[in-house]
Structure 1
Amino acid sequence: MESPISFDHLATGARDFARLALEAHARGETEVFLLEAGVSIERLAKAALVRVNPVLLVELSSRQDDALLHLAGATDLPKKLRTVGAQTAIDRLRKMDVLPSKDEELDTLIQLRNGVAHLGTSVPEDFLEPFVESVCLLLDHMGISREKFWGPWDELVRVALDDRADRLQKDVRLRLHQASLRAEARFADMPEGTPEHLASIVAQRGLVVVEVDRAGGALFQALTRCPACRTEAAALFLRAPNTALLFDMELTAEGLWCDLCQLHLATTEEVDLAGLATTARYTAEDLIQIGRPGDTLAPDVLSYARRRLPDDSF
């Protein structure tokens, strides 16, 4: 039987798990991301050790004569083959100056991977950056092409590693790229024009009142082209202050949601960073809906439209 402890086998496995990790991250599946990312780093770290000498995978804390002999090329694959864990492999690479001597985020990622595997975890922090940074360090050390390793996720990795962007700017760019890849994967095997056809079905055109809050004004929804999947299927949420006149409103964008690629923008600043205008002018004539039969929204809108503004001379 061919030994699974080979450079090509470990590097290929690391690549596959790395891409799975990024797919899980794009879907917001934190635990799956941590599992896949941890496995990817472990396999790539072991590949780096094997590149030097396979015996560097031997665990020293217990008798591993069979593993030592096999990895030295003296025997066939034993029935049980135990090698070092991820943390030991990383520590050995640190002693070889391949990885930084201190990287708390990488250590935490490996610990969380182990925690997810055994008990599950809830992690508020995002470990995408330490994951791709560590992987790229190992790739560069072994002379493996980043572009070939990451495949369709290469541009996303470039964004994650871009030190020129601030945290929010980078976060929005990552979300845009992830949403774009989700849309590509979703419609890859469908006929040309399917996204646009679906957009024409699900998209709600015109200006729609979502809610009226006498303290905060009215919230509207308008159709816009999604900055990620480029289909006209995104709902842009716009707010009018409580002093606005319905016959001439300047609305401020407060967020966005696309049904086709699941892109979500939550603030005016995020909308701006996505390349969309943050203000728009509408009048009452643009309204196509102020509520459904039986709900309580329509009276609120009518009351809002007819109210007397401060210093109103009409």
Structure 2
Amino acid sequence: MGSPITFERLLSGARDFAHLAMGAHPEGQTEVFLLDAGVSVERLAKAALVRVHPTLLAEVKGNDDMLLHFAGALITPPQRFHTIGAAAAIARLRKIGILPRSGELDGLIELRNGVAHLGASSADDYLAPFVETICKLLDHTGQDRGEFWGSWSEAIQVTLDDRFDRVQKAVYLRMDQARFRMETRFGKLPEGTVESVARTIGETGLVIIDRSPTGVLFRTLSSCPACGTEAATLFLKAPNTTLLYEMELTAEELHCGLCGLRLAGTQEIEVAGLSTTMSCKVEDLREVINDGPIGSFTEDPNLGRARRPVEDSW
């Protein structure tokens, strides 16, 4: 009877869990990401050891049935399989020069083992070591990265690319993940569905939505840099001293209602390829929904209390 623990099965399992981990990452499901990423690394690490020799998976603690089975001396597999864990598999791969030492990878495995009790603040700190480890093991075992990662290949390439700084990598990765999410949500729906939904949720025109001591906040419709639809809400800000007839607004955030892309801060918006400033006039205003006083922002004291279209308030 052949062993149920084979290179092909371990590789297939590693691929499945890697895709689950990548799917959890953009959703902010940190614990799910850590669990799935850790299992993926463990499966592929064991697959790499099997390629060297199956006996390297054996955990010899009193009973040597597993060792004999993997060596081919015991044809019938034991009733229960006890193989080494992820940490031991990684340690053996380091001893034979397949994986380098990495505190980040060790941290990922430790969090995977104790995630239910310890938790973690963010998955971002462990994405790079996860991806780098998987790719090193794929290269060592002669597996094609594109075939393993599938639709996540572009996101993986961005994660590995040293030409980008941390902010650029974060934005490009989020955009790739948003495109993947878009395809998952709408890929099999009838033609025209995306456009129809975009028209439903898209709100044209410039709207004043809030005022704070630091300035006045606007929102307007924007094209999403990830999915390309006119369904993103761009939030802009102007100082309280800005005049309505001559407004220079600065982009602060972007949220897409279709693909779920979120950008925070002027730097991320610029990296995504959008303009970070917008020149507007009073004619562009469609509505004001702020209850507080606008102060020096406008010469009309009634504008701050308006909930009707702006042209009806004047």
TM exceeds 0.5? yes
Matched, 1:200 2:199: yes
2:261 maps to amino acid: L
SS of 2:293 mapped into structure 1: helix
* Superposition map of 1:158-173 within 5 A: 158-173=157-172
Deviations 1:50-83 (A, max 9, x none): 01110110113x1232211221223222211100
Match for residue 96 of structure 2? 96
User: What's the RMSD between the two structures over aligned residues?
Assistant: 1.6
Aligned with 1:259 (options 257, 260, 269): 257
Q: 1:298 to 1:306 in 2, by over 3 A?
A: farther
Unaligned segments of structure 1, at least 5 residues: 292-296, 309-314
| Conservation of the 8 A alpha-carbon contact between 1:209 and 1:290 | yes
TM superposition shift of 1:253: 0.6
2:235 paired residue among 234, 237, 244 = 237
Q: Name the TM-score, length of structure 1 as normaliser.
A: 0.91
Residue 298 (structure 1) shift: 5.0
Q: Could you give the per-residue CA deviations for residues 184-220 of structure 1, whole angstroms, max 9, x where no partner exists?
A: 111122111211111100111100111012x322110
CA distance in 2, matches of 1:200, 1:301: 31
Structural mapping, 1:205-284, within 5 Å:
205-213=204-212, 215-284=213-282
For these two proteins, the number of residue pairs brought into alignment is 299
Residue identity in the other structure for 2:12: T
Deviates more, 1:4-13 or 1:122-131: 122-131
Provide the C-alpha distance between the structure 1 equivalents of 2:235 and 2:150, rounded to a whole number of angstroms: 35
Q: Secondary structure at the match of 2:298?
A: helix
Partner of 2:135: 136
Distance 2:182 2:269 in 1: 19
Distance verdict in 2 for CA 1:244–1:304, change over 3 Å: closer
The SS at the match of 1:126 is: helix
Residue type matched to 1:53 in 2?
Answer: H
User: Contact between 1:7 and 1:50, CA under 8 Å: does it hold in 2?
Assistant: yes
Gaps of 5+ in 2: 302-314
Looking at structure 1, the residues matched to 165 and 256 of structure 2 have their Cα atoms a distance apart, in angstroms, of: 24
Q: Distance in 2 between matches of 1:219 and 1:131?
A: 39
Offset of residue 243 of structure 1: 1.9
Q: 1:99-114, aligned counterparts within 5 Å?
A: 99-100=99-100, 102-114=101-113
Aligned ranges 1:1-314 → 2 under 5 Å: 2-60=2-60, 62-73=61-72, 74-100=74-100, 102-116=101-115, 118-124=116-122, 126-213=125-212, 215-291=213-289, 297-298=290-291, 300-301=293-294, 304-306=297-299
Letter in 1 for 2:260: Q
Counterpart-to-counterpart distance in 1, 2:292 and 2:159 = 48
Q: Given that residues 246 and 279 in structure 2 are in contact (C-alpha distance below 8 angstroms), is that contact kept between their aligned partners in structure 1?
A: yes
Deviation at 1:4, TM superposition (A): 2.2
Q: Distance in 2 between matches of 1:257 and 1:129?
A: 25
Quote the offset at 1:268 in angstroms.
0.6
- In structure 2, distance between residues paired with 1:269 and 1:247: 27
CA contact (8 A) 1:129 1:160 kept: yes
Kindly provide the amino acid, as one letter, of the partner of residue 272 in structure 1: E
* CA positional deviation for 1:282: 0.9
Work out whether residues 179 and 228 of structure 1, in 8 Å CA contact, stay in contact via their aligned partners in 2.
yes
Q: TM-score, normalised by structure 2?
A: 0.91
Contact preservation (8 Å) 1:31, 1:120: no
Residue identity in the other structure for 1:88: A
Measured in 1, the distance between the counterparts of 2:207 and 2:175 equals 25
